[in-house]
Amino acid sequence: MESPAPLTRQELNRGVVALKHPNHTTNLYYLAQEYLFLALAIGLPIAFFRWTRSLGYPLWANLPGYLVSIFFIGAIQHRLSNLTHEAGHYALFKNRYMNELVSDLCCIFLLGATTQNYRVSHWGHHAYVNDPEKDPDLIRLKQHQEYDFPMAKGRFCLLYVILQMLPKQSLKYLWGRAKIAVLGINEGAFAETKPVYGSMPTTLLRIAYYSAGIALLTWQGWWIYLLLFWIVPIVTFYPLFMLLREIAHHTNVPDNSTYRNSRVFRPGWLEGFCIFPYGQAYHLPHHLFPSVPHYRLDEAHELAMRYPEYRNNTTICGGFFLSSPKDRQMPTVLDLLSQPA
């Protein structure tokens, strides 16, 4: 079979136009899927605890299952935030009001933030990728902790995995995110985008949302469940997955040129679920075509591979720690971080 004919940049852009239109149904399925995952991750350990208690087992017998639970809840929190990333590009749903409202109510309000606060900073990141004075993400990460790359694999795992799980580092990272997405405090460049609905409706919506949540938790006596199955993962595994994804996307890249400032990833299912959900494995094509919904980024990448400049400059690697199940010879992200770019 002959290879498809190469494309010019203009032909590539025309081909991508057909991929840029979100619909009203696909992400409803993904959102329902996340809530099912969340129900299982919370419900199963609670049911197991009640069963072991009825049999007289000690409390510590539930610890392994609880750790697995908060690991996956942290991943689900990360996945929900990535659906808000889609909404930040108006790619969650075709209708902008639906895009904003569903993202706020079903995804990012659960994490204390708003879609609009996230958007203005994230668009600044897109405009100034890896610019040390203007990229809001890079500025925030350097404030969190700044080390030189390349870095030995063992040192990276110590600094960015083991120590990151400790409260001091975890809360420091979360505060950097919260200043932007919760409080709307921006450093570096940010986009003056017009809100879908104004600041007053957003504030009233947040007040109503959290008031209803507090009332429900108090009425049902569920505060302990909030602590164990939401707050604990949000200060442990959630920031870990967020940080690893951010590092994978832009750290120790060859340079900041258009086709070399990020990567394409081929993770296995676990790292795909936890670190690279919803199109995050196709980060380079996302930066080139930010309006393309996550479920069509693979098509955008395959189309772009017919453009010689993209194909010849794109770094394709496996997962973060694990090699790609599709090609064991691909370097992992950890390999790339430990070698000169």
C-alpha dihedral sign at 151, 154, 160, 166: negative
Is residue 247 scored above 90 in pLDDT?
A: yes
Tell me phi and psi for residue 317, to 5 degrees.
-135, 180
Number of domains in the chain: 1
Confidence of residue 215 (pLDDT cuts 50, 70, 90): very high
Residue 3 lies in a domain: no
Is residue 289 scored above 90 in pLDDT?
A: yes
3-state SS, the chain, equals CCCCCCCCHHHHHHHHHCCCCCCCCHHHHHHHHHHHHHHHHHHHHHHHHHHHHHCCCCHHHHHHHHHHHHHHHHHHHHHHHHHHHHHHCCCCCCCHHHHHHHHHHHHHHHHCCCHHHHHHHHHHHHHCCCCCCCCHHHHHHHHHCCCCCCCCHHHHHHHHHHHHHCHHHHHHHHHHHHHHHCCCCCCCCCCCCCCCCCHHHHHHHHHHHHHHHHHHHHHHCCHHHHHHHHHHHHCCHHHHHHHHHHHHHHCCCCCCCCCCCCCEECCCHHHHHHCCCCCCCEHHHHHHCCCCCHHHHHHHHHHHCCCHHHHHHCCEECCCCCCECCECCCCCHHHHHCCCC
Given a contact cutoff of 8 angstroms between Cβ atoms, the answer to whether 251 and 240 are in contact is no
Residue 258: Cβ within 10 Å count: 14
Residue 57 lies in a domain: yes
What pLDDT score was predicted for residue 147? Answer: 79
Residue 167 lies in a domain: yes
Residue 74 lies in a domain: yes
pTM of the model: 0.96
Distance CA 104, CA 182 (A): 12
Given a contact cutoff of 8 angstroms between Cβ atoms, the answer to whether 266 and 328 are in contact is no
State which residues form the domain around 129.
9-336
Residue 101 lies in a domain: yes
Distance CA 11, CA 194 (A): 31
What pLDDT score was predicted for residue 194? Answer: 87
Given a contact cutoff of 8 angstroms between Cβ atoms, the answer to whether 1 and 43 are in contact is no
For the chain, the first-to-last Cα distance in angstroms comes to 35
What pLDDT score was predicted for residue 172? Answer: 95
Is residue 295 scored above 70 in pLDDT?
A: yes
Residue 245: Cβ within 10 Å count: 23
Q: Render pLDDT for 39-72 as a digit per residue (tens, 0 to 9).
A: 999 999 999 999 999 999 999 999 999 999 999 9
Average pLDDT, stretch 265-274? 98
Residue 341 lies in a domain: no
Residue 4 lies in a domain: no
